[in-house]
Structure 1
Amino acid sequence: MTVLDAHAHLWTRASTPQPWIDPGSMAAIDRDFGVADLGEAQQAAGIDGALLVQSSNDLRETRDLLALVDGAAVRGVVGWVDLEGDVAQQLEELGGGAGEVPAGLVGIRHLAHQDPDPQWLGRPAVGRGLDALGDLGLPFDLVVLPAQLPLAAEVARAHPGTRFVLDHLGKPPLASGDLAAWRSDLAALGRLDNVVAKLSGLAIEGDWAGWTVDDLREPVEAALAAFGPSRLMFGSDWPLVRLTRGLDAWLEALRTLLGDLSGDERAAVFAGTAERTYLGGPHA
């Protein structure tokens, strides 16, 4: 079965600093990661390719990531543009023609969970940018904290012509163990036809070294109930997954948790949904 990783990161910290990395607790990712590192991890895990996702709200990083698209290890880039600015002009700066999406750019993301304004998604100027993405066929990745999920649903509802992708299932608060509000807010997003979600980055919300498959069962079952397999996609969150027992452990856990699905349903989660969402539009 084809496995397409819908959520991987690469960074060279001289050009794209990662100040959030703590050398003490995050030694496993306290270095640069390039395409060769990603390719080695993919080969070891049986992953056929990945989509790179921005880690900085910086047009220069997106330009650097686009240069790495090779149709093999790297299938495309979920990059960044300033949605409050001239989206078309920025896409031209990234190599697109007039009114066109640059080759390899398959989506846009903004680090809304880190933005100084927790209501950034709701700004009118951002809304105009989201509509511009919809006109271009570019999906927008939602990376939000649990408290921002209601706003994310409000925004997705207000922009039905734009496709939205919820990263990391909205970061369920596994450490607290109280998932009731998160489940309700996730279900509200799941009722919107223009939203899909990534099964990614879950273990990092709990016990990094000691998580078990059962720890992840409730959020995965909630995601299946909210979205169904045809609107879920696998993401490794590599290299951050190295902090949480590694890529093999995450893949094994997810295969176990999805074990009751049909072959077609598993194929959707592990490749089909990502291919349809990111690689099936006019920018493919």
Structure 2
Amino acid sequence: MGIASIIDTHLHLIDQSTLSYPWLSSVEALNRDFRYEEYALQAHRVGITQALHMEVDVAPSDIEAESGYIAGLAKREGSLIAGCISSCRPEEDGFAAFLERQQANPLIKGFRRVLHVMPDNLSESALFRENIKQLEGTGLTFDLCVLPSQIEKAIALIDLAPGVQFILDHCGVPDIKSEGLSEWHSKITDIAKRPNVTAKISGVVAYADSDTWRIETLEPYVHHVIESFGWDRLVWGSDWPVCTLGGGLATWVAATHALLQGCSEAEKAKLFSANAKRIWSIA
């Protein structure tokens, strides 16, 4: 029986000769170029057939240039790139005009504003919340990258914009290395009650101890997300190259397959591709 094809909904590409990434200087292990060619070689080997590029928190002046850079890669013959999730600044007055420009670009499938490294109250301003509500009816999603301690604030945002499709990145960023299961567990249960949230099974190898993690280490986290959200509200992402901090792309794909042992082919197909196709209208 063939392995289901995979849509990677969380690919980061880094090209420091083209774009500026202010945060990279503080993360030595990732402070180099991670270009499309390197990713594509590995992706083809593990069954990835399409990918969505996820914004890489470039300098604000480079936000739209990043989308243009990805558009160029998407035009290559045989490109894996099927769309991109753009960075944005909902806390700023210019968001409405920015959104209008992005709606004219068919490559843009949604947005993300990195929150897990920002002050907790960023998403609580009236302007931020009103701007997120503008996504209602556009078909564009909003990714939430938040710490467990910030999930309650994410829920408040979600409840104020019930017509927006939110994507919870990286299983809610559990602190696997410190075995931070209890606080995270109940908050995942709570956020999963919101029908306009889909969870992304991605990135968790980077939150475990790179030297000691095993499948059993990841299992309670991944399985709780699956049980909480159900198969129709799950997508898969590599979080490449961040996943290299926990073993790399092939290791994470293999770990995912191991974590899904006993699941049906239909369930795996939903996680790996069918749900992503539906949510982001990927052909």
By the TM > 0.5 criterion, same fold?
A: yes
For 1:4, give the aligned amino acid.
I
Equivalent in 54, 58, 72 of residue 67 of structure 1: 72
Instruction: Please give the residue correspondences for 1:141-220 in structure 2 after superposition, counting only pairs within 5 Å.
Output: 141-220=143-222
Shift of 1:244: 1.2
Please report the TM-score for the alignment, with normalisation by the length of structure 2.
Answer: 0.90
Q: CA RMSD in A?
A: 1.9
For 1:230, give the aligned amino acid.
D
* C-alpha distance in structure 2 between counterparts of 1:203 and 1:180, whole Å: 19
For 1:118, give the aligned amino acid.
D
Change over 3 Å in CA distance of 1:162–1:66 after alignment to 2:
same
With 3-12 and 82-91 compared, the bigger mean Cα shift is at 82-91
Structure 2 equivalent of residue 90 of structure 1 = 98
Structure 2 equivalent of residue 33 of structure 1 = 34
Q: What whole-Å deviation, never above 9, does each CA across 1:216-265 have from its counterpart, x for those lacking one?
A: 00001110111012111111001111221111111111111111211111
User: Is the aligned partner of 1:17 residue 2:25?
Assistant: no
Instruction: Please give the residue correspondences for 1:102-113 in structure 2 after superposition, counting only pairs within 5 Å.
Output: 102-113=105-116
Q: What whole-Å deviation, never above 9, does each CA across 1:99-125 have from its counterpart, x for those lacking one?
A: x3412000100011122x212122211
Where 2:115 maps in the other structure, the secondary structure is coil
* C-alpha distance in structure 2 between counterparts of 1:162 and 1:101, whole Å: 19
* C-alpha distance in structure 2 between counterparts of 1:22 and 1:45, whole Å: 30
Q: What whole-Å deviation, never above 9, does each CA across 1:59-114 have from its counterpart, x for those lacking one?
A: 23233333332473111000022223333421455xx5xxx341200010001112
Q: Percent identity?
A: 29
Where 1:134 maps in the other structure, the secondary structure is coil
Q: Structure 2, unaligned stretches of length 5 or more?
A: none
Q: Is the 8 A contact 1:38 1:73 kept in 2?
A: no
For 2:175, give the aligned amino acid.
P
Instruction: Please give the residue correspondences for 1:260-271 in structure 2 after superposition, counting only pairs within 5 Å.
Output: 260-271=262-273
* C-alpha distance in structure 2 between counterparts of 1:102 and 1:242, whole Å: 31
Structure 1 equivalent of residue 44 of structure 2 = 43
Q: What whole-Å deviation, never above 9, does each CA across 1:180-199 have from its counterpart, x for those lacking one?
A: 11011011111110000111
Q: Structure 1, unaligned stretches of length 5 or more?
A: none
Shift of 1:271: 0.8
With 150-159 and 83-92 compared, the bigger mean Cα shift is at 83-92
Change over 3 Å in CA distance of 1:107–1:119 after alignment to 2:
same
With 32-41 and 216-225 compared, the bigger mean Cα shift is at 32-41
Change over 3 Å in CA distance of 1:140–1:23 after alignment to 2:
closer
Moved segments of 4+, more than 6 Å: none
For 1:37, give the aligned amino acid.
E
* C-alpha distance in structure 1 between counterparts of 2:245 and 2:178, whole Å: 19
Please report the TM-score for the alignment, with normalisation by the length of structure 1.
Answer: 0.89
Change over 3 Å in CA distance of 1:153–1:23 after alignment to 2:
closer
Structure 2 equivalent of residue 52 of structure 1 = 53
Q: Which structure shows the bigger proportion of residues in helix conformation?
A: 2
For 1:85, give the aligned amino acid.
D
Structure 2 equivalent of residue 230 of structure 1 = 232
Q: Is the 8 A contact 2:173 2:204 kept in 1?
A: yes
Where 2:42 maps in the other structure, the secondary structure is helix
Structure 1 equivalent of residue 251 of structure 2 = 249
* C-alpha distance in structure 2 between counterparts of 1:104 and 1:77, whole Å: 6
Change over 3 Å in CA distance of 1:16–1:248 after alignment to 2:
same
Where 2:93 maps in the other structure, the secondary structure is coil
